[in-house]
Structure 1
Amino acid sequence: MKRILIIFAHPGYHRSHANRAMLRGLKGLEDVKVHDLYQHYPNMFIDVAREQRMLRDYDIIVFQHPIYWYSCPAILKEWMEQVLEYGYAFGPEGNALKHKYLLAAVTTGGSAASYSTTGHNHHPITDYLLPIQQSGLMCGMRWLPPFVVYGYHSVNDPDYLKMKGQQYRRLLTALRDEEFTPQQLHNATYLTDLLKEL
């Protein structure tokens, strides 16, 4: 059984429908910890030593956040710059995160159709996640297919949001319990592609 740490970054959590539904879906899930960066560091002064100690105890690291201007919220970028430092996360002696898994669990204002070569955003969401993916690879981490909730600006259906929260819980449970083979994880574009294999 693997332990999962969710690095959660949302500056307007009280206004969020999609991210709240995702976190509600994880209530009571054993070996899954949610670490809210804006709650712990409202002034963005990150306790690097504390964060590095915490990372040591987990096998799967999840970056959960909304997509803002095709990137992550500012505090997550600050966290990456401060915590994933040379000598700790990369460089000749920087192997603290080696072989841990990295998952992006993101929400977008745009629809799935808008994130395509023919859509409004001109690229799939996976293209916009490349900086996070490459950062993880530089740290020796294993990239997992992302979990994406599209169209949060237009979603008002509580049943749909509850379903997405249940999907998130089921997929994280499967990752925790090692229900997927390395080949399944490698072949999937999105984590939800694997639902039919459960």
Structure 2
Amino acid sequence: MKTLVLVFHPSIGTSVANRRWLQEVALQPQRYTIHDVQQAYPDGQIDVAREQALVEAHGSVVLQFPVYWFNCPPLLKKWLDEVLAHGWAYGTGGNAFRGRKVALAVTAGIREQDFTPQGKWRTTLAQLLAPFDVTLAYIGAEKRPFFAFYGAEDGPSEQGYAERLGRSAQDYVRFLSAL
């Protein structure tokens, strides 16, 4: 079955890293379905039945988003609150994610060395993403490691940024194919 890549980016049109990843993923439409949730619901009103049907039609699910104020974008939180409904994702009869592989793919504006216990923010990206680990365990998903691109804020001002981003996009597709 195909992998569903759910994209939660408030402004994908101005994104550099997330957009570059999607360009690479789009080269293999037979393997991946890209669903831009922000574009699908610009008013924030999520069609829960549609989202649940999309998940059910795919073997694996990836939540792709920029780390936003050390958290996820608001629409992703709303998606989790509404789509992961009792009786569907958890609770009596709620087994839609049982055994389904789920991974996170995140871009972080901050450099990797700043996301260490000794770094500027004294926390790791894994620690920031821990609530997702608990959520995925709660719904019985098979949590996979996360994929990250650090230093997205550096952008074109960083020497070698375009090459680093290009390698990351290719690594992202390899990551997806290994789910």
TM over 0.5: yes
Task: Give CA-to-partner distance per residue, 1:42-81, whole Å, 9 cap, x none.
Answer: 0000000111111101111100000011111000110110
The share of aligned pairs that are identical, in percent, is 33
Amino acid at match of 1:26: V
Question: What is the distance in 2 between the residues matched to 1:174 and 1:99?
Answer: 16
What is the SS of the residue equivalent to 1:78? helix
Alpha-carbon offset, residue 31 of structure 1: 2.1
Moved more, 162-171 or 77-86: 162-171
Number of residue pairs matched by the alignment: 174
> Which residue is 2:128 aligned to?
128
Q: Which runs of 4+ in 1 moved over 2 A?
A: none
- TM-score under structure 1 length normalisation: 0.85
The CA deviation string for residues 98-134 of structure 1, in whole angstroms up to 9 with x for no partner, is 1101101000011110101011121110111111111
Instruction: Specify the alignment match of 1:143 in structure 2.
Output: 143
Summarize deviations over 1:6-27 as a string: whole Å, max 9, x none: 1101111122111111111112
Residue aligning to 1:9: 8
Q: Is the 8 A contact 1:63 1:105 kept in 2?
A: yes
1:9 touches 1:73 (CA, 8 Å); kept in 2?
Answer: yes
The residue that corresponds to 2:170 in the other structure is 166
CA deviation after TM superposition for structure 1 residue 28, in Å: 2.4
Distance 1:133 1:22 in 2: 23
Q: Give, in whole Å, the separation in 2 of the partners of 1:40 and 1:34.
A: 11
**Counterpart amino acid of residue 38 in structure 1:** Q
User: 1:61 and 2:61 equivalent?
Assistant: yes
What TM-score results when the alignment is normalised by the length of structure 2?
Answer: 0.93
- Aligned position for 1:27: 26
Q: Which amino acid aligns with 1:165?
A: A
Note the C-alpha offset of 1:91.
0.6
Equivalents in 2 of 1:3, 1:99: separation in Å?
Answer: 15
Structure 2: distance between partners of 1:174 and 1:87:
30
Aligned position for 2:109: 109
Q: Distance in 2 between matches of 1:144 and 1:39?
A: 26
Residue identity opposite 2:11 in structure 1: G
Gap regions ≥5 residues in structure 1:
176-198
